[in-house]
Chains A and B, each alone.
Chain A
Amino acid sequence: MTAVDFLNLLIAALLLAGTYAAMAVGMTVIYGVMKIVNLAHAGFLMLGAYFVYELHERAGLHPLLGVLLAFPAFYFLGVVVHWTLGRGVPVSDTPTLASLLLMFGLWLVLQNVGYLVWGTDDRAILTPMTFATIRFGEITIPKIGLVVFVSAIVSLAALEFVLHKTWFGRSIRALIQNRYSCRIVGIHVERTARMTFGLGIAFAGAAGGLLALLYPFSPDFGRPFLLRSFVIIVLGGLESFSGVFVGALILALVETFSILAVPSSYQPAISFSLLVVALIVLPGGVAGFASRMRSRRAG
């Protein structure tokens, strides 16, 4: 394999990593604050894809604008869903099976609604960008991949800003650390949880829209991404955001370079195999491994 091929693959992996990170962030935010494993994340990814698609098909809206619109639209949707489900999504210290099954039920509903409205056929969002490529010397980059990557990075940067520079963001970080102290300090736990859920769904919807630019989609769209999000979270550690980046990068690299070694029909099994290996080698995820290293060095 030549250096150029290697570089092409590497860049493809990096672009993918950015998208994967945006995809997984929605799930991480909700889990970190509420300890709810949001299986319906897959359903919202799917709805985000169709949202951008419909806006593009019917209103001629540029997909990137559609993604931008998806943020507030899905934030609102997330808040409404959380408000409706109310007692089923309590803020808890540990993940509960009840919330897991509830989100699973929601996912089934979303998926079926998708089938009812859009049928089972695959759709795709096609724009002039879709097949265009950019060349840097010998390196070829698909334009759409670059666009999606930049959008993902921009939204993640915005998230970092919100988390570190706004009251809402700081409330979220505080809530992740210690729910009881938050009440003492005056943070309204339930309202923050609701807004966080909205934020997580907003990211799911927007990420779904971005992914729709890269892949064809059907109402079953979310499932492989759900598994990938989870692999990322296990690899990166469910409690930290830098972990999401690390996890996304590892997954993207493995998936991209595995093309060299594994026949393409086995590709869907890659992310799962990575998960198993990661679990055997690093039970606490990369973050757990890192903190163990730190404590060993200190002793």
Chain B
Amino acid sequence: MAALLSVENLSKYFSGLAALDGVSFEIREHEIVGLIGPNGAGKTTLFSIIAGSQPPTSGTITFEGRDFTRVKPFHAVHAGIARTHQIPKPFLSMTVRENVEVGLRFGREQQSRNLEKQAMDILDLVGIASRAGTSAAALSVGDLKRLELARTLAARPRLLLCDEVCAGLTESEMQSILGLLRRIQSLGTTIIYVEHNLRAIVATCHHVIVLNFGKKLAEGPPEQMQNDPAVIESYIGKKGGA
């Protein structure tokens, strides 16, 4: 299968500090790929660059065979790449439904008919249909994360970048989000999923990429990553006390 997304030798420097250093990988269609690494490893920066919010310092990105190294964020959305943010960014003056409507109307498919029904369907999928008429400013953190996901899904992405969508959630909330991600994937979306919870990664992902200090440390099936000494060291430290 040809790669949906191909990242080659991607680097990003901030005043001499390397947030990303020569990262290369490929994502195939219909995969759920986990992206793990300690804090500061460069995961959010990577998402930011792929989604077009920042340009890389060097390297290339190819999406569906086309060069996507330096795209504007809205252009990336129209082409099918959409991301959620670690800290949700809702449109506070709008209701939950209106938030989703923005994604519907401006996303990849630029919908104009049956907006209310489509929005409710997505809110149902995500689990906050009962809050459709509520102002976004009145939502709890968990619901804001769901809204963020809903709005991103409304843009009908081919590639969904999920940034720590489970952070701060209870165990049962997390399980339902993971089930949701699996359902989204079965409906045809490819997902790159940043998460700290390794159990969630193992349960959901086909493939895992490990970052640390801006470099790709390892790549492979989740079970293999669990036992990789370099990966364990990056999270926990050297064995035997150094």
Query: Do A and B have CB atoms closer than 8 angstroms in the complex?
Result: yes
Interface-located stretch among A90-98, A115-123, A140-148, A289-297: A289-297
> Is B13 within 8 A of A299, CB to CB?
yes
Asked if A298 is an interface residue, CB under 8 A from chain B, the answer is yes
Residue of A nearest to B16 (CB): A298
Interface readout for A272-299 with B: 1 if CB under 8 Å, 0 if not? 0000000000000000000100111111
Q: How large is the interface on B (under 10, 10 to 19, 20 to 34, 35 or more residues)?
A: under 10
Contact residues of A: prevailing secondary structure: helix
Return chain B residues, CB-CB under 8 Å to A296: 57
Residues in B with CB closer than 8 Å to A295 are: 13-16, 57
B45 on interface, CB distance cutoff 8 Å: no
By a CB distance below 8 angstroms, the chain A residues around B58 are 299
CB <8 Å contact, A299 and B57: yes
State A294–B13 Cα separation when bound (angstroms): 10
Query: CA A244 – CA B228 in complex, angstroms?
Result: 52
> Interface 1/0s, chain B 43-66, versus A by CB < 8 A?
000000000000001100000000
Report the separation of the CA atoms of residues A299 and B20 in the bound assembly, to the nearest whole angstrom. 11
B95 in contact (CB, < 8 A):
no
Does residue B11 face the partner (Cβ distance < 8 Å to A)? yes
Residue of B nearest to A292 (CB): B15
Interface string of A142-173 (1 = CB under 8 A from B): 00000000000000000000000000000000
A298 CA to B16 CA in the complex, in Å?
5
Q: Taking the nearest CB of chain B, how far is it from the CB of A154, in angstroms?
A: 33
Residues of B near A298 (CB, < 8 A) are 13, 15-17
Interface string of A210-253 (1 = CB under 8 A from B): 00000000000000000000000000000000000000000000
In the bound complex, how far is the Cα of B58 from the Cα of A299, in angstroms? Answer: 8
Measured CB to CB, the nearest residue on chain B to A291 is: B15
- Complex Cα–Cα for A201 and B13 (A): 38
Measured between beta carbons, the chain B residues less than 8 angstroms from A294 are 15-16
Among B144-165, those with CB < 8 Å from A are none
What 1/0 flags go to B110-153 for Cβ under 8 Å of A?
00000000000000000000000000000000000000000000
A209 to chain B, nearest CB (A): 39
C-alpha spacing A298/B58, complex, angstroms: 12
Interface of A toward B, CB cutoff 8 Å:
291, 294-299
The list of the 8 closest CB pairs from A to B, nearest first, reads A298-B16, A299-B13, A299-B57, A295-B13, A298-B13, A294-B15, A295-B15, A291-B15
5 sample A-B contacts, Cβ–Cβ < 8 Å, listed by A number: A294-B15, A295-B14, A298-B13, A298-B15, A299-B57
A294-B16, A299-B57 known; 16 new pairs, CB 8 Å cut-off, are A291-B15, A294-B15, A295-B13, A295-B14, A295-B15, A295-B16, A295-B57, A296-B57, A297-B16, A298-B13, A298-B15, A298-B16, A298-B17, A299-B11, A299-B13, A299-B58
